[in-house]
Structure 1
Amino acid sequence: MTANALPAPVTKAGQEGLAALLADSGKALVALDFDGTLAPIVADPELARAHPQALDALVALAPKVAAVAVITGRPAEVAVRNGGFAGVPGLEHLVVLGHYGAERWDARSGEVTAPDPHPGVDAVRAELPGLLEGSGTWVEDKGRAVAVHTRRAADPQAAFEALREPLTGLATRHGLIVEPGRMVLELRPPGMDKGVALTGFAREIGAGSVLYGGDDLGDLPAYSAVDTLRTSGTPGLLVCSGSDEVTELRERADVVVDGPEGVVELLRALADRIG
């Protein structure tokens, strides 16, 4: 994609979604994953930061649409910090839906709202060290969920596959589910996913069109939500932040861009095209 040029969606539904967004941008919802979409994937998730040009691109686009939502499995406050979203003029329409929508941060108030944590998370947190001993993995404590990263193991894919079944058993015993991702297995409460979060927020603001961009398996429920919205009359555009690690999104997307850099270029192109 050349600078400031919008890519052509490869599906009719995607073409209709983009056309609707451009025709009435004031009713459009632009929703994006964080890690792998706005921020490059790194070995240590604590060091993940938004692409250097992501904030400028969001500031250029956000005032021209109904809302921008960052939908992430991370705690909302972590995504806000790592994205540099707090107190930025032009991002007043930004909302961060953390923990798959269980938490919400609004740029206007700067506050996070959330329900009480699921008790199973504490139980899983206590049992994980014994289960993971010697695996070469690293645990990210998200407060309302815990994520086991295998990227640092001697054989990351083998560790991922070896741990999938025992972690699923552990999660099930404590009323949680396992969400697989790019060399990560996240144990979290059931009932919330990015599709639920996206659908709820789109309905809340009365979105006339929806763009969703993601990169990983956890984004598939949001893709399905956009498909459902399309069938009910709300046009949508599915964007994949492409990688070599996950192909499922690429196969379903209307537009595929080259990682977070490509996402930034797309956001800039949208802002330029809307005018």
Structure 2
Amino acid sequence: MDPLPTPQTQSGRDGLAALLARPRTALIGLDFDGTLAPIVADPEQARAHPDAVPALAALAPKIASVAVITGRPPEVAVRYGGFAGVPGLEHLTVLGHYGAERWDAATGTVTAPPPHPGVAAARAELPRLLERAGAAEGTWIEEKGRALAVHTRRAADPQGAYQSLRAPLADLAARHGLIVEPGRLVLELRPPGMDKGVALLDHARAVGAGCVVYAGDDLGDLPAFDAVDTLRADGVPGLLVCSGSTEVTELAKRADLVVDGPEGVVGLLRALAAQLG
């Protein structure tokens, strides 16, 4: 059985204690890529850790809510995660596009507002921009429907390509009313007002969460960490978990608990399920 790790901060220990004492009020929020699924060179090949769904299915019936919060379209995260039709996950929620779209396991349906027009305009210009920047070779555009992501992981010089594209992509985004979200060798163009913090806060308040755990691995998860701090200030205990990597260290500095990537996140979920009996 996986041991239940001890958070290194008092706030984290308080958050974990609240979850164990009052699990029926607990919300567990989870990023997908890098947290439930290992990071891979081709994002279309990302799949949840093989033990993630069994761990979630064992834990979910014992708490108030499990929400996967991702920049991906929710139906993609559901497919890559293998979340649909799993006993125990009937009340799983996937908040895709940073909460702009929502998939509920109970109905299997997605609800969403109209897309931001700036995404289509930026999409039309993006291939030419990459050519002008000399970054077309080895970069890869991920189509997210409500957002676009430029990956440099497969470029000859991934970090060099990443840095060279930051300014031109920021200019492109600004011209079309979008923002650029940096990540692990990826730059995402998306509408403002969409972030994991807003999504987590809205969901926590909707389910009346009495304690909140959030696990993430990348810069896009920092707003969710901020949301947990906001909830703590309002008297809701919380636990910040970093799915550790050598590519991004900012989350590890903020986290109450650092685990070893998706394997460590799955181990934490299994340990929580076992502890709750």
TM-score normalised according to structure 2 size: 0.98
Q: Displacement of 1:238 after TM fit? A: 0.3
Q: Distance in 1 between matches of 2:90 and 2:64?
A: 11
Deviations 1:4-25 (A, max 9, x none): 2111111110000000000000
Aligned equivalent of 2:191: 189
What residue identity is the alignment partner of 1:167? L
5+ unaligned residues in a row in structure 1: which ranges? none
Aligned equivalent of 2:98: 100
Secondary structure of the 2:149 match is: strand
Q: Distance in 1 between matches of 2:14 and 2:267?
A: 21
Q: How many residue pairs end up in the alignment? A: 273
Deviations 1:47-70 (A, max 9, x none): 000001000000000000001000
Aligned equivalent of 2:166: 164
Q: Distance in 2 between matches of 1:154 and 1:142?
A: 24
CA RMSD of aligned residues (A): 0.6
Deviations 1:93-127 (A, max 9, x none): 20000000000000000000000000000000000
Secondary structure of the 2:68 match is: strand
What residue identity is the alignment partner of 1:148? V
Q: Distance in 1 between matches of 2:230 and 2:40?
A: 32
Aligned equivalent of 1:260: 262
Moved more, 126-135 or 103-112: 126-135
Deviations 1:130-161 (A, max 9, x none): 11124121000101100000001111001101
Q: Distance in 1 between matches of 2:160 and 2:63?
A: 43
Select which of 145, 148, 151 maps to 1:149.
Answer: 151
Aligned equivalent of 1:213: 215
Q: Distance in 2 between matches of 1:61 and 1:223?
A: 22
Q: Displacement of 1:192 after TM fit? A: 1.4
Asked if 1:222 corresponds to 2:220, the answer is no
Deviations 1:22-79 (A, max 9, x none): 0000010010000000000000000000001000000000000001000000000000
Q: Displacement of 1:92 after TM fit? A: 1.1
Select which of 3, 9, 12 maps to 2:7.
Answer: 9
Q: Distance in 2 between matches of 1:268 and 1:174?
A: 44
Secondary structure of the 1:213 match is: strand
Aligned equivalent of 2:273: 271
5+ unaligned residues in a row in structure 2: which ranges? none
Moved more, 167-176 or 128-137: 128-137
